[in-house]
A and B are shown apart, each in its own frame.
Chain A
Amino acid sequence: MGKRLAFWLVVAVLSAAGLLPILYMLWRSVWIDGHLSLSYYISLLSSDRTWALLAHSIALATLTTISSTLIGIPLGILLAKTDLPFRKALAVTLTLPLLIPPYINALSWFYILGRDGVIAKLVGSAVSNITSELYFGLGGSTFVLTITFMPVVMLLTMAYLGTINPELEEVGRLFSRWTTVLARITVPMILPGISLAAMLVFLLAMGEFGVPSFLRYDVFPVESFTQFSAFYNFGAATAAAVPLAVITAILISLEWIFARERTYRLKTASDSGFLRIELKRWRHPIFIVILIFAFTTVIFPLTVLVTRSMTPNAYREALSIAHDSLLRSIVYAIIGATLLVGIGFLLGYFIHKREFSLWRALDLLSIFLFALPGTVIGVGLIGLWNRPSTDLIYTTPVIILMGYLAKYTALTSRITVSTLVQIPPSMEESARLAGVSWLNRIMQVVVPLSKPGILVAWIVGFIFCLRDLGITIMVYPPGHDTFTVRTFTLMANGSPQLIAALSVMMVAAVIIVMGTGWAAVHILRRK
């Protein structure tokens, strides 16, 4: 396979899985009964409900972004730049809520704050009635999504801090205290990373379907799903999806205009050491505060979830009800992650090399698709591929895999770019001068040198495919539902013990994959 062919393969995959479905969706929302019409939009814009949904969506996204940023930046700085003990363990623990389906986080907190939750048992129903009242709606949705998406800010802050040339801080340290250096040198330098993180959290929160749906807070993704699933009104579902697509496009464009050099910034990363802040007498008090925070927001809710599931029959029942969907989830996640690594690696390579003029458009498209709510991608995929001639796609798991490729390629391509910037270009160039073909250069020089990065990309791809709800719940063909979809649909009428057991199984799957993957990456790096 030649380089050009590989490039067009990436273009074809992203077009078929993401671009064309979105364009088709837009087209269908204005082409009604054989002629152009804005009737869906007119009824959408003239409806009070639309504006209420928009206000809800923006309020949820804004509050989640503010709280995630306020918590995520200090945590990122403390975990990346200081001599705090157990930094890695704390970072991994705090990242866990991002890796499990957000509605499971909502469920765990429901078992704490709900009318029959832990609070009710500890202090009585008078208090739990209030906590339950507060939990359902904007407050609870913001709370759960903050815990879920705060790691995005924390991790990006940590990643960008790692790219700062330590000499720039050392110069500042010659005449200022650390707090001044952080405020005047370090944080301003990582502002592009922080703004990217804030934008991602905003878009992820605005596109989130499971949590607002569970906590009965009406937002656009829920509306889009309802219009499609309950009323099978494709036009209305599409029109409800369009505001999200437009807001996503605007934010991505703004981010691109104001922070387009972020790839270069990562490229100029210095690996000549890392300047660490000594917390001295604050080391242990700060550690205890973060430990309490991690325990309260991550360990405690999961413990409650596990406790809820601890009945003699819960796991047996969970397995008998959902073993087929669990197996499917794992198989789809393995195939999805493998495809994501393949396409994401190629896309990352082309973004890194910048040889083809379309690289920037592909980069933007993949980020746009990642930020777009899964339900919107789902509506587009169904619209484009639901026809007799494409049954092979629509009635098989291929449609789910296409959704994964559309939504998550940006993750694996970004990981590839950050891996490739660490490989000197001369490694490939020397092979090229020796007459080695492009495919051989990739397979025998670039891929072996990128192994740890590829493995990380596969693990991330696997986890995100495994936890996906938004796309899968929209597109899964009959008999092909995944574990997250099965659990989510059972939540309406299943026993709490059963739902808790199913959720614990999902969390366990994520932890096992993360643990195994971490060990494998560790071994590869040591080699």
Chain B
Amino acid sequence: MAFIELKNVSKRYGKRLAVVDFTLHIDEGERVVLLGPSGCGKTTVLRLMAGLMAPYSGSIYLYGELASTDGKVLMQPESRHIGMVFQDLALWPHLTVKGNLEFVLKAKGVPRSERERRISEMLSLVSMEEFAYVKPTRLSGGQQQRVALARALISHPRILLMDEPLSNLDFELNLRLRRQIIRLQNRIGFTLIYVTHDREEAYDIGTRIVIMRNGRIAMVGSADDAEAYFSRLYSEIDDA
């Protein structure tokens, strides 16, 4: 039984096909990176996994259960044990850092004392304890990113989806946060599905790389396989 399984999944926006016949198995604890240019359908695949939209055709299984199929979302997003870091981070600007984390725990019915403990633990994990009572708009890009990560992880999700979360950061900060994400994944053990268009970022984070082109899977393999794929692609372009 695969931890996550997408079987012949397609998604259309009106007449345009965004994802075509997408099939992928992901095992528990893997770090899978979806790599490809803008508009190739990476974010759509993440949103389909999260249950934020239904596939036009095909099926998605989570933990062995059918979660979405043929235009229907069977397992609601809130029941999927998924955390997500959006590209724009989606931090609620009217709540403080602590408020952002607490809101999630309240929704899960976590008692107050437990909430306090988990918030302080999570903030310390991402080195943001001193910013608990600050609103997100007052934080730097890197700090906001860490808060978004903390918020996504505070409910102890089994799967973490990250949609180009580091794309707006400078190289050094990007590198530091990549390291932090890998450390957290090793420590907590969630399954990570990470979307990026940056090859170096993909090779650094992913234990498996899925290259996407025009809504389809072009290649699945290791970083070396991905590099070989790009070399072939470039020679084909040069020859043409």
Contact = CB atoms under 8 A, between A and B. Distances in A.
Contact of A430 (B79, B80, B108, B151): B151
A267 to B, nearest CB: 14
B187 interface: no
Contacts of A426: 86-90
A420 to B, nearest CB: 15
Interface string B78-93: 1110111011111011
Interface in A409-456: 424, 426-427, 429-437, 440, 444-445, 448-449
Contact of A434 (B52, B86, B89, B108): B108
Contacts of B104: 431, 434-436
Nearest to B84: A433
Contacts, number: 63
B153 to A, nearest CB: 11
Contact of B78 (A427, A433, A445): A433
Contacts of B92: 427, 431, 445, 448-449
Interface in B170-186: none
A437 B50 CA distance: 16
A436 B151 CA distance: 13
Nearest to B82: A433
A431 B88 CA distance: 14
B107 interface: yes
Nearest to A441: B107
B90 A435 contact: no
Interface in B73-132: 77-80, 82-84, 86-90, 92-94, 103-104, 107-108
A424 B148 CA distance: 15
B214 interface: no
Given A444-B103, A445-B92, A435 B86 contact: no
A436 B103 contact: yes
Interface string B200-227: 0000000000000000000000000000
B103 A433 contact: no
B154 to A, nearest CB: 8
A203 B89 CA distance: 44
Main secondary structure of the interface of A (DSSP, over half): helix
Contacts of B23: none
B94 A436 contact: no
B155 interface: yes
A442 to B, nearest CB: 13
B52 A435 contact: no
Contacts of A434: 78, 83, 103-104, 107-108, 151, 155
Contact of B94 (A431, A433, A448): A448
A430 B52 contact: no
Nearest to B163: A426
A429 B163 CA distance: 13
Interface string A57-77: 000000000000000000000
A436 B79 CA distance: 11
Contacts of A435: 78-79, 104, 107-108, 155
A492 B89 CA distance: 63
B88 A424 contact: yes
Contact of A449 (B83, B94, B103, B155): B94
20 contacts: A424-B90, A426-B86, A426-B90, A429-B77, A429-B84, A429-B86, A430-B86, A430-B90, A430-B151, A431-B104, A431-B107, A433-B80, A433-B82, A434-B78, A435-B155, A436-B103, A436-B104, A437-B107, A444-B103, A449-B93
Q: Which 8 A-B pairs have the closest CB atoms?
A: A426-B90, A435-B78, A426-B86, A434-B104, A436-B107, A430-B90, A448-B94, A435-B107
